[in-house]
Amino acid sequence: MSKSLAFLPLVLVPVFAACETIDPLLPPPPEELDLWSDASAGITHAGLAQLAREVWEADLRQDPFLATYLGDPRWNGKVPDSSQESRSSWRMRQVAFRDRLAALEDELLEREDELTAELLRQKLEQEIARVDLDLEAWTVDPIEGPHLRILNVASVQPCASERQREQVVDRWNGFGAYLRQAARNLERGASGGRTASRTAVEKVVAQLDALLAQHPSQSALCTLATGGGRWVELAPGGNVAEIAHRNLGDAREQGVLLEVNRHVLEPTRIARGSFVLVPSASDELPLGARGDFLYDVLLALEEEVWPALRQYRDVLQKKVLPRARTDEQPGLKYLPGGLAQYRTLIREYTSLPLAECDAKAIHEYGLAEVERLRAELSALGAKALGSGDLATLQQRLRNDPAMHFTSRDEVEAKAREALARARGRLRGYFGILPEAACEVVPIPAYEEADSTVAYYREPAADGSRPGRYFVNTSAPETRTRYEAEALAFHEALPGHHLQTAIAQEREDLPRFRRHLNVGAYVEGWALYSELLADEMGLYSGDLDRLGMLSYDAWRAARLVVDTGLHFYGWSRDEAIRYLADNTLLAANNCANEVDRYIAWPGQALGYKLGQRELLSLRDEARAALGTRFRYPEFHDRVLENGAVTLPALRRLVQAWLSGEGVAVEATSR
C-alpha cells in the first residue's frame, strides 16, 4: 500500500484541519520563493502553464503537511484546516480553476498539453466531489486519522536551523486547533446521523488512551526536540543533582541539566515528578538553545496537544460511540445517501468512467478471480507442501511456527534482503530507472498494532529523504515468511518505489503530474509487480510463490469484500470470514484489512482493476509486436508519463503500438 502524500486517489488529497487562526510566520527568505520553477514543466500553452503553477501552489498551501513531505519549507509551521468555511472556500477555488481550464482547452494544440489538461480536469473535479462527500464528518480512521497524521509528519519535520525550530513550535501549537476541528467535524456528523462503525471508534479510542498515558516528553512528538539525548525519570520530590551524579558523574553538573531542562525549574513539576533530559555529547545545539527549544515543544504538547487529544478522545467516547453503527452495519449502505457516495468513491479510486463504476459487476469479477486463484493455490500447494486442499494449506501455513518469523529483526532483515535482490535484477526489464534510493523502516510503535502489514512513502522532492518501505514488525510470530517477498516487491522494487520515484524524476512533466496519485494506476502497478517479480526470477522458491498467489487472491477478495461491505451491506465478521476463507493471510491481518476497507470505502478496488488493465495492455502489446516485444519498452511506455488514469493509459499504450506500425483495436477503457 502506498501512503504517498496520504496515499490516496487521483487528487492530491486535501486533508483539512482547524478553523482557529494561527499567527503567521515571518515571510520566508528570498531563496525559498522560487522552489517550484518546474511547476509547469513540459507545458507549451502559456495559459495552461500558468494554471498548473497556481494549482500546484494552492495544493501546497491547502495541505501544509503535504508540503513538508515534499520538502517545501514555506509551510512547515502550518497545519491544514478542515473547517466547513475552509472546505467551502477550497471548493470555490477548485471550481474557478476548472472553469479557467474549460475556457482554454480548445486552444491546446500539443498532445502532451491535452493529456495534462485531461488529468488536471479530472483532478479538479475529484477535489470538488471529495468536498461534497464531507467524509470528515463521520470517518474515524485507526490507520491514518488526525492523531496519527501529526505523529507521522513529526517524523519528517526539519529542525536544524533556528527558523525551522520556530516552525516546529508554531506547528505543534497548531496541532491543538487541528485536532479540535477534527472533533467538531465528528460532532457535526453524529448530530446529523452520520457516524463511523463501532470497532473503528473503539480502536481509535484505545490508540488515544495509549498516547495520553504517556508523559508528553516520552511521545514521538517530543523526539525531535531532544537532540539525541535520553530521558531519565525524576521521581516526585526527586533531586536533579542526584540525576547529574548518576548520569554525568558529578552532582555539580546539575547546572547543565537545569539549563537544558527548564521545565523542571518549576516547583510543581518537582513535586509531582517529571523527566529530565540528559543531553547527548554529539548534540550540535548549545545547551541554552536546546533548553529553549525543548521547553517550547513541551509547553505546546502540554497546553495544546494533550488537551486537544483528550477532547478528541472524549468526543469519540461520549458522542460518537453511543451513535456508532454496529459491526453488523459498518458499510456506506447504512449512511444517508451512502450508495451514491460509494459510486463516487469507486470512480475516484479506479479512475474508470462512471458507467463502469458498477459495484455489482466489480463484485462478480472479484468472485470469478477468487475462484481462479483458489485453483492456482491448490495446484501450487500440492507441489510445494504435498496437499492441494486449501483448508489444509491454510491450517499448515497459518499455524506452523516454521512459517512465521521469530523476531522483529528477522522481519526487517527479510525485507532488506528481498529489496536488495530486486534492486540487482532491474536491468533487462526496465529502461528508465529511478535515481532515488529506497530504505526499509519499521512501522512506528504508535501505529503498528492497527496498521497494515506494510506501506510505502515517497522520497522528498528535494532529495533530502529517500523512499521508505515501512514494514510491520510487531507480533513477529504472526508475520508470515512466505508472503514477505511479495510484500517487498509490491512496496519497494519493482513496485511502488520504482514507479513513484520515476514519476517524481520526470523533469519534462509539470509538478502536479509528477506527484499525482491515481489509485488504480499506482496500486495496480504495485500488484502487477508482484507477478512481474516471478517472471524476473525474484522468488526464492515455491513457498514464496504461494505467498504471491495468496496476495493476488487477497486483492481479488478485496473486490468482493469492499463491495460486500458498502454495496451489499455485509457485516464486519462476514467480511473477515470471506478473507480468511479465500486467502492464506494471517487472522490478525484479515481483521485489520477489513477495518481498513470500512474506513476507506472504495480504495481497495484499485489494486486488482489496475492490474487487470496492465496485464491486458501487455497482452495486446505481445500479440501486436510478436518477437519484437521487449519488457523495457513496454514498461517505459507505462511509466514515463507518471500516474495517469486507466483510460489515458490505454490510449497512450495503443498510440505507442500504432506508432510501431501495428494495428490496434480501440476500446473504451
pLDDT higher than 60, residue 268: yes
Of 579, 603, 627, the residue at which a domain comes to its end is 603
**Residues 166, 232 within the same domain:** no
Q: Determine the average pLDDT of the residues in 134-150.
A: 96
| Lowest-pLDDT range of 254-263, 336-345, 658-667 | 658-667
Q: What is the mean pLDDT of the chain?
A: 93
**Residues 168, 304 within the same domain:** no
What confidence tens digit (pLDDT) does each residue in 29-50 have? 644 567 899 999 999 999 999 9
Element (H, E) at 602: none
> Over 359-390, what HEC string results?
HHHHHHHHHHHHHHHHHHHHHHHHHHHCCCCH
- Is residue 414 situated within a structural domain? yes
- Is residue 627 situated within a structural domain? no
**Residues 202, 229 within the same domain:** no
**Residues 175, 113 within the same domain:** yes
Q: What is the pTM of this model?
A: 0.92
- Is residue 1 situated within a structural domain? no
Burial label for 542, CB within 10 Å (0-12, 13-18, 19+), is middle
pLDDT at 18: 39
Q: Determine the average pLDDT of the residues in 473-480.
A: 95
What confidence tens digit (pLDDT) does each residue in 408-455 have? 999 999 999 999 999 999 999 999 999 999 999 999 999 998 888 999
Of 187, 215, 243, the residue at which a domain comes to its end is 215
pLDDT at 662: 56
Alpha-carbon separation of residue 15 from 4, 71, 86, 182, 546 (angstroms): 13, 18, 11, 11, 38
pLDDT higher than 80, residue 23: no
**Residues 176, 43 within the same domain:** yes
**Residues 38, 80 within the same domain:** yes
- Is residue 333 situated within a structural domain? no
* Cα-to-chain-centroid distance, residue 183: 22
pLDDT higher than 90, residue 15: no
Q: Which three cell numbers stand for residue 555?
A: 486483492
| Total domains, the chain | 3
**Residues 190, 234 within the same domain:** no
pLDDT higher than 50, residue 569: yes
pLDDT category of residue 25 using cuts at 50, 70 and 90:
low
Alpha-carbon separation of residue 450 from 144, 196, 203, 233, 320 (angstroms): 10, 16, 8, 29, 20
pLDDT at 660: 63
**Residues 118, 67 within the same domain:** yes
What confidence tens digit (pLDDT) does each residue in 586-608 have? 888 899 999 999 999 999 999 99
pLDDT category of residue 229 using cuts at 50, 70 and 90:
very high
Percent of the chain with pLDDT over 70: 94
Say if CB 237 and CB 226 are below 8 A apart. no
pLDDT higher than 90, residue 663: no
**Residues 150, 273 within the same domain:** no
Alpha-carbon separation of residue 276 from 26, 243, 302, 364, 415 (angstroms): 32, 8, 16, 60, 37
- Is residue 69 situated within a structural domain? yes
CA 495/CA 430 separation, integer angstroms:
12
Spell 122-152 as b/e; 16+ CB within 10 A means b. Answer: bbbbbbbbbbebbbbbbbbbbbbbbbbbbbb
Residue 230: which domain range? 220-309
**Residues 203, 276 within the same domain:** no
pLDDT at 32: 57
- Is residue 559 situated within a structural domain? yes
- Is residue 240 situated within a structural domain? yes
- Is residue 63 situated within a structural domain? yes
**Residues 101, 210 within the same domain:** yes
**Residues 180, 299 within the same domain:** no
Percent of the chain with pLDDT over 90: 88
